[in-house]
């Protein structure tokens, strides 16, 4: 089984927004990533519009639809609409993404750093998952590695879980990721036993991705943005995406 590479374009939008105007262009970046072999594109529009904005979501959805590739929208399903942010369900109703990844992040978070608590959030997630699935989207939910209740994502109606790989990346950078890899593999197997497919994301990079995919069974998709865009500053976007494709293809 091969793993799909979805490139997260948030950091392109961060750079654009830091200066104002339209450069760098997130759509042009998306075209470059797809031309280099990315299987799809990911965005995570937040209510404060700190990076990807609603207009970007519409434009990138049209790009992916025209190219026949996957479009993945991440977001907090509990976050209410506000000026400039119509809400996750409204964005998905308009754009009909291939996948919606539900993430429990708040406005004050610098980045997504934990999964759902199914004991607390499970009942509230069920009707929201159903609403996204009614749009024809595959639904994935963000989960912590080591969560003994990961199988409850299936009871919520989700199709997949996305393993939060931040702690693995930290352990890998420190020189010993064996325990983190074992925990990720065990969590993936628990999810799969419940009928869920497994995605992964957060702080995955060229340095650690191959090790992760070799250790964790049947990862369907990795979503990578921060490290990829950082590496592309040195090597270029085309070369960097191609390097990631070689890693996921080698792990198949």
Helical packing angle, 88-95 and 54-67, nearest 10°: 30
Residue 175 Cα distances to 121, 178, 200, 244, angstroms: 35, 9, 21, 21
Catalytic residue status for 202:
yes
* Catalytically annotated residue among 70, 162, 202, 221: 202
Catalytic residue status for 74:
yes
Residue 229 Cα distances to 33, 156, 197, angstroms: 11, 33, 27
* Catalytically annotated residue among 39, 51, 74, 172: 74
* Catalytically annotated residue among 39, 44, 51, 172: 44
What is the C-alpha separation between 128 and 131, in angstroms, rounded?
A: 5
What is the C-alpha separation between 42 and 73, in angstroms, rounded?
A: 6
Catalytic residue status for 44:
yes
Rg (CA), the chain: 17
Q: Give the catalytic positions in this structure.
A: 44, 74, 202
């Amino acid at each position: 089984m091969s793993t799909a590479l979805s490139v997260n374009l948030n950091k392109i939008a961060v750079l654009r927004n830091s200066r104002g105007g339209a450069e760098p262009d997130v759509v042009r970046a998306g075209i470059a990533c797809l031309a280099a072999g990315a299987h799809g594109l990911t965005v995570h529009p937040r209510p404060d519009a700190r990076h990807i904005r609603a207009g970007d979501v519409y434009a990138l959805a049209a790009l992916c639809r025209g190219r026949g590739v996957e479009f993945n929208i991440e977001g907090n399903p509990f976050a209410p609409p506000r000026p400039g942010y119509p809400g996750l369900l409204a964005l998905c109703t308009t754009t009909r993404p291939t996948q919606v990844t539900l993430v429990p992040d708040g406005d004050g978070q610098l980045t997504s750093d934990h999964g759902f608590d199914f004991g607390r959030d499970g009942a509230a997630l069920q009707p929201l998952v159903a609403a996204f699935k009614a749009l024809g989207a595959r639904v994935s939910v963000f989960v912590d590695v080591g969560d003994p209740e990961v199988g409850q994502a299936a009871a919520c109606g989700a199709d997949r879980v996305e393993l939060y790989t931040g702690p693995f990346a930290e352990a890998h950078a420190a020189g010993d990721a064996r325990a983190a890899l074992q925990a990720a593999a065990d969590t993936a197997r628990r999810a799969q036993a419940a009928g869920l497919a497994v995605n992964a994301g957060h702080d995955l990079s060229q340095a650690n991705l191959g090790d992760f995919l070799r250790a964790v069974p049947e990862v369907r998709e990795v979503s990578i943005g921060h490290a990829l865009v950082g590496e592309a500053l040195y090597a270029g976007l085309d070369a960097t995406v191609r390097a990631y494709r070689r890693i996921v293809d080698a792990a198949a």
